[in-house]
Structure 1
Amino acid sequence: MGAGWVAGVTRARALRNRCLGAEGIGEVAASPTLDDALRYLSATPYRHDVTPGVTPAEAQRAVSATLLWHLRILAGWQPASGADTVRALAAGFEISNTEHHVRALVPAPLRPGTGGLHPPPYRLGALAIAWKRLARTRTPSELRAALAASAWGDPGGDSAAAVATGMRVSAAVRLATAVPDAERWAAARLALLVGREVFVVGRRMPGVSARRAVRLLGSRAVDAGSYADFRTALPTTGRWLLEDIDEAADLWRAEARWWNAVERDGRELLRRSRFGPQPVVGAVALLSADAWRTRGALELASRGGGTGDWPVEVLRAPG
């Protein structure tokens, strides 16, 4: 491996100390108020923009913004292929930006639950895929056309739901293709997305998104008429996440399981001694899982703190 990978992997390993860790996350979760949790975070790597007085949503978004900043730093130390790896792993930030953007394009009288303010977009820097072009669009149809002309591809519709689903399917397929070490995560996450959309929400996926999903899940799963048939037809790369979830209504249980697996796999990848993409993928996994748990802990603190059934699932660290 070249000198670029040496520097990139060295930076990846150094970023591990940016994680709050199980003990710190437990402290946040047990805080009796959100402001107490934020005061604790003010002395941690998540200290930026988490001053007391912000709302739970603002605090959680600040945690996500800190994660994005760490990923931008990590990408900046990588050779070109390593930066592409981090970009594929960080695609969720551009999806979030686009979801808020498309909702803002819908006239307020037509938008249910109006009145909330849209947060400023995440600053993606070199991790952007097509955000500058997407941000310039002024109508949902323009946004769909811009997506279709980009690496994201046509989402199959210009509604907020079609755009969100289409981008997530595209991101999963791209991740599995560009980052082989993350194929299992991508396939399982896509299985969860399709299961929720079709068998919980009851919304058929646009044809173009369904055809993309076939690349990871197979046509039998994507075309399944029942949740039981869907789960049975999934390939092994996606089935593990849903293996004991017998009812679609219980798919919420898969979220924590997915993050546990990402964290466990990430820890193993980061331990690899070679200079190459695996430790970089591992670092992104650990940073992302830590941020997810921290956001969950902030939600708990906003409700008075504690360790009830839901917190245990969120905060449990894999062995």
Structure 2
Amino acid sequence: MIAWLLLAIACLMSLLFGAGSIGPDSALGLLMGNDDPEARFVIMELRLPRLVVGLVTGLALGVAGALLQTLTRNPLAEPGLLGVSAGSAFAVTLAILLGATTASLTTLISQLGALAGCALVIAATRMQGVGQDPVRLVLAGATLTGLLLSLSSLVMLIDQRAADEIRFWVTGSVAGRSWDQLLATLPSMILAGLIIVAVVRPLASLALGEKVAMGLGHHPGLIRLAVILAVALLVGGATALAGPLAFVGLVVPFVARGFGGADIRKTLWLCLPLGPALIVSADTVSRLLVAPSEMPLGVITAIIGAPVLMIIIRSRRIPTL
């Protein structure tokens, strides 16, 4: 209940505060029924779309992080740290290089890149000595992320047009996204939700071990494939909307487990409000810190997430989920 209240407060703050001339008084007046054309334009055409994009992005990344951590049984597994988001971003970068524009990007390209990133993560967990060591898995993911980001930077050096179009997007932002872009991601988000509903109970069994899951009549291989597909759909859609945002999939499940325990079903339920609340709050802060300019959203999420990562790593024992 507290998490949903925090989300409601974050949404209200997102509509009331911004980097422009429309302050809380004007915004609140419009919400109360006053007809101010300038305030209406700012709230309905600028702040409301980025609020909704923030809600969808935060939900997708928070849930994807929880799924990935449970699947790998690693609390450090996070789409932004393990190369899933970087794979998605690199696919989008290649699409722009080949002639696409940011307005015409489809989530399919981003999701294919995320799917490739997921496959590499699962392959890393099957390697001897890597999957059993959370820190080594993160280091492997960081290497992959660095490689893909370097290749994306190389693309921007080759094509100046691509660099101009992707430079702001790659740092992470929910600003300037159209309703058409948001609607393009909804079918895949809904499909991911249906997959999660179908697989959450078997996944909870798999978290106890493959033998336990098989003893209960589940098929670990099919569970993994379903979770990988759901993560790819969620991360790909979120990356297409807001760019590669790191640490969201780490912080949100970490906080959710702190309140609800290790059960994936309770964790996912808490991720539903906590993920959007984190993104929406971070976006509001990004507008206010350097007003009238805006700080990239990815910088804010990194500032929030880096200390959480250090806390987990410096703990005496990193728990295996």
Would the TM-score normalized by the shorter structure come out above 0.5?
A: no
The structure, 1 or 2, with the larger RCO (C-alpha pairs under 8 Å, 6+ apart) is 2
Question: Please, what TM-score do these two structures have when normalized by structure 2?
Answer: 0.25
Task: Return the TM-score normalized by structure 1.
Answer: 0.25
Of Structure 1 and Structure 2, the greater helix share is in: 2
